[in-house]
């Protein structure tokens, strides 16, 4: 069975600074990887996904993530954050050929200060 670890529960950063949110996973088979964002009082929305191919994946709102198989990581990055990026970010993994049910991490709260 797969598992996901988001190493930071909270990441404070100043506006226009770069940010990286870390995600590590564990699985004995190939995986699909997702990042979701949750704004206050809303449901989760897909930011980006890695299915196969290029390990650098670009998503909405200027975010990107890199799949690193050897380190079993899928870190999310943005070169310059805005106040509006303040939200909760969830990493999720599902196994190729396995059940269709993804496992979600505990989430990382990104707090952007002016």
What residue ranges bind other proteins (CB under 8 A)?
A: 32, 34, 36, 41-46, 49, 51, 90, 94-102, 104, 106-107
Cα-atom radius of gyration of the chain, to the nearest Å? 14
Would you say 17 or 56 has its CB closer to other proteins?
56
Shortest Å, Cβ 69 to other proteins: 17
Q: Where are the beta strands (DSSP E) in the chain?
A: 3-5, 10-14, 19-21, 24-26, 31-38, 44-50, 56-58, 64-68, 73-78, 87-95, 103-104, 108-113
Shortest Å, Cβ 90 to other proteins: 7
Shortest Å, Cβ 88 to other proteins: 10
């Amino acid at each position: 069975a797969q598992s996901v670890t988001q190493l930071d529960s909270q990441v404070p950063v100043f506006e226009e600074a770069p940010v990286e949110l870390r995600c590590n996973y564990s699985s004995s088979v190939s995986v699909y990887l997702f990042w979701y964002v949750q704004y206050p009082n809303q449901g989760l929305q897909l930011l980006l996904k890695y299915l196969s191919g290029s390990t650098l994946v670009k998503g909405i709102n200027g975010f990107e993530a890199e799949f690193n198989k050897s380190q079993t990581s899928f870190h999310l990055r943005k070169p310059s954050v805005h106040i509006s990026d303040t939200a909760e970010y969830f990493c999720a993994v599902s196994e190729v050929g396995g059940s269709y049910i993804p496992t979600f991490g505990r989430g990382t709260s990104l707090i952007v200060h002016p």
